[in-house]
Structure 1
Amino acid sequence: MSQQNVHIHLIAGGIAGTTGAILTCPLEVLKTRLQSSTATFHRPVYLPTLNPSGSIAQLCTCTNPRPANMGILMCLRHIIDTEGPAALFKGLGPNLVGVAPSRAIYFCAYDTAKKFFNNRLTPESKKVHMFSAMCAGFCASTCTNPIWVVKTRLQLDQRKIGKNLGATQCIRTIYQKDGIRGFYRGVTASYAGISETVIHFVIYEHLKKTLRERRRVQIGSEKSGRDFFEYMLCGACSKSCASIMAYPHEVVRTRLREEGTKYRSFFQTLLTVAREEGPRALYRGLATQLVRQIPNTAIMMSTYELVVYLLTVEVPYISTR
């Protein structure tokens, strides 16, 4: 892979990831809190009681510690009412800092690995896509895990804006309590989550190849608006399937990144959550994840394909062709 192609995929992956992160940040915050054991939502429950005059009055609110009983819109409204609208974008700073290099590393590693395996295995086969996705996921998870630990801590902070935990203070606290190891909490769950990226890209590449063959479109030919719309659908469909199949690792990862929790390792956390809260707890926040992933992945994949196309076709002097 030439240096120019590396730069193209770095730029495309960075732009794609940043765009998706900004537009879907509120749902990311909500999903993280639903997965957590520390962040709760409080649903007002009005009970009919008799006032001194004998008529029925509406009274008192009680705390409901089960966030699954609240809908997505109600949870978002709760965050706005208790912490302010800006709370929907908590953790956006580290997210923007991390998403560009994370996606850039991922897409660049994926493209590099795919070319490597294409020369040694059956070109464009499912094995090539699977091994390439595994390599890309491992590289991205290892390099950027400290950023995601900070992002998760900020998203779980339920104080109002102005009194909330800052990124610098969060980094200092993690280092003082756990040292460098604290920034790699949840990395084992991220490695387990590579299965999600493998499933995602295998399905995505298969759908894209099927559409290309059906329309008899060859790689490198001129693309139309319909092509990018189809990439969005392929990305959304493949990511949704992958998310449902591999979702428990996300709950485990969030629990491991919580501050001062009883969770220590991947399998210990998996078994503890299932035993204490039931198997359904491993799918907390799944609905929010699917609602978020569909637009996020569609935006990310179509943006990535568009940027790569523009940099290789519209600006031919940087192309290797």
Structure 2
Amino acid sequence: MIQTDTLVHLFAGGCGGTAGAILTCPLEVVKTRLQSSSITLYISEVQLSTVNGASVARVAPPGPVHCFKTILAREGPRSFFRGLAPNLVGVAPSRAIYFAAYSAAKKKLSDVLEPDSTPVHMLSAAMAGFTAITATNPIWLIKTRLQLETRNRGERQMNAIECMRRVYRTDGLRGFYKGMSASYAGISETVIHFAIYEGIKRKLLQSRAHDRMGEEGAVKDISDFVAIMLAAATSKMCASSIAYPHEVIRTRLREEGSKYRSFFQTLVTVPREEGYRALYRGLATHLVRQIPNTAIVMATYEVVVYFLGY
């Protein structure tokens, strides 16, 4: 019974992650480009002719719309799906591992702590995040490297296999785990997200149950899943805004040949060279992508679990 339950959550998490990854990939590419230190691609030729290399980082970074137009003009529409292959390879197992670990941890902790309480949700989310990050970091590093690669329209682009060989040749096996420290720091975002999500969902479903009091054999309808999507979107917006700097730090650590070596060194270097606003570069694009992505993931997960009878 326990094995069947775990498989259901693995399958549901994989379905949700895959749906979200496909629909929001273009925004993911724009966000990653904005987070990187290589901003010269997006500065106009007029600006470049008057700015020397030492002060390029001080030039005001472009916005998401300008970045989007530049990628479209110079690299073509296919570039908006750079990194989708490793994303699809990684997102299903990552989400599956995450949701299965979250469900298992929540059941175990409910035997020790108050069932369905905020501490249970927060600890479960932290344990699930740690498990998923450790298992899938190499996939996300490859995805980030592919999204950061800039080629002009018509030029052959590096594929995932070539990228893996390049990482191994340059940095060895350790190279595949760059940025993992920032991902661990990002567990705080997951903890905040799930604590808020579970609280909102519980209140919404309690309210729905109260409205249906007296109805026999009441079942979930579309409004219940809309409520779940709203809960997921609201909680993710709050969590992402609070913990966003770890996203920028992680991208910098994963850049090829970058000067960034560790989480805290990057956390100090980026504000010193580019100002504190650089730690929030790409936040708007991140929220535009992450909120619908999270709503899609969580709603798909809940729908699959519900229809499989769990």
Deviations 1:63-92 (A, max 9, x none): 887786533233212101100100000000
Separation (CA, whole Å) in 1 of partners of 2:102 and 2:272: 37
Can you give the 5+ residue segments of structure 1 that lack an aligned partner in the other structure? 48-59, 313-318
Separation (CA, whole Å) in 2 of partners of 1:65 and 1:277: 6
Partner of 1:74: 66
Separation (CA, whole Å) in 2 of partners of 1:188 and 1:43: 31
Are 2:247 and 1:250 equivalent residues in the alignment?
Answer: yes
Q: How does 1:211-230 map to 2 (within 5 A)?
A: 211-216=204-209, 222-230=219-227
Partner of 1:309: 306
Are 2:186 and 1:193 equivalent residues in the alignment?
Answer: yes
State the TM-score, normalizing by the size of structure 1.
Answer: 0.88
Partner of 2:158: 165
For structure 1, which segment, 155-164 or 190-199, has the greater mean C-alpha deviation from structure 2 after superposition? 155-164
1:255 offset after TM fit, Å? 0.4
Separation (CA, whole Å) in 1 of partners of 2:2 and 2:41: 51
Provide closer, same or farther for how the CA distance between residues 178 and 227 of structure 1 changes in structure 2, counting only shifts above 3 A. Answer: same
Seq. identity, %: 60
Deviations 1:234-292 (A, max 9, x none): 10100010000000000000000000111111000100001111111100100100111
Alignment match of 2:199 (pick from 197, 201, 206): 206
* Counterpart residue identity of residue 38, structure 1: S
Partner of 1:113: 105
Aligned length: 300
Q: How does 1:218-297 map to 2 (within 5 A)?
A: 222-297=219-294
Q: How does 1:47-86 map to 2 (within 5 A)?
A: 69-86=61-78
SS at match of 1:223: coil
Provide closer, same or farther for how the CA distance between residues 305 and 221 of structure 1 changes in structure 2, counting only shifts above 3 A. Answer: farther
Could you tell me whether the CA contact under 8 Å between 2:39 and 2:61 is conserved in 1?
Answer: no
* Counterpart residue identity of residue 208, structure 1: K
* Counterpart residue identity of residue 74, structure 2: T
Between structure 1 and structure 2, the one with the greater Rg is 1
Could you tell me whether the CA contact under 8 Å between 2:34 and 2:67 is conserved in 1?
Answer: no
Partner of 1:12: 12
Separation (CA, whole Å) in 1 of partners of 2:100 and 2:40: 38
State the Cα RMSD in Å.
Answer: 2.2
Are 2:91 and 1:94 equivalent residues in the alignment?
Answer: no
Could you tell me whether the CA contact under 8 Å between 1:106 and 1:140 is conserved in 2?
Answer: yes
1:221 offset after TM fit, Å? 5.8
1:163 offset after TM fit, Å? 1.7
Separation (CA, whole Å) in 2 of partners of 1:104 and 1:70: 36
Separation (CA, whole Å) in 2 of partners of 1:177 and 1:213: 55
Could you tell me whether the CA contact under 8 Å between 1:189 and 1:249 is conserved in 2?
Answer: yes
Separation (CA, whole Å) in 2 of partners of 1:132 and 1:9: 14
**Which has the larger share of helix?**
2
For structure 1, which segment, 71-80 or 19-28, has the greater mean C-alpha deviation from structure 2 after superposition? 71-80
Separation (CA, whole Å) in 1 of partners of 2:5 and 2:298: 18
Separation (CA, whole Å) in 2 of partners of 1:307 and 1:40: 44
Provide closer, same or farther for how the CA distance between residues 46 and 255 of structure 1 changes in structure 2, counting only shifts above 3 A. Answer: closer
Separation (CA, whole Å) in 2 of partners of 1:253 and 1:205: 27
State the TM-score, normalizing by the size of structure 2.
Answer: 0.91
SS at match of 1:24: helix
Separation (CA, whole Å) in 2 of partners of 1:137 and 1:266: 18
1:39 offset after TM fit, Å? 4.5
* Counterpart residue identity of residue 81, structure 2: F
Separation (CA, whole Å) in 2 of partners of 1:215 and 1:104: 29
Separation (CA, whole Å) in 2 of partners of 1:4 and 1:66: 55
1:41 offset after TM fit, Å? 4.0
Separation (CA, whole Å) in 1 of partners of 2:103 and 2:256: 36
* Counterpart residue identity of residue 139, structure 1: T
For structure 1, which segment, 32-41 or 190-199, has the greater mean C-alpha deviation from structure 2 after superposition? 32-41
Q: How does 1:18-29 map to 2 (within 5 A)?
A: 18-29=18-29
Can you give the 5+ residue segments of structure 2 that lack an aligned partner in the other structure? none
Separation (CA, whole Å) in 2 of partners of 1:140 and 1:26: 24
* Counterpart residue identity of residue 178, structure 1: D
Separation (CA, whole Å) in 2 of partners of 1:11 and 1:170: 29
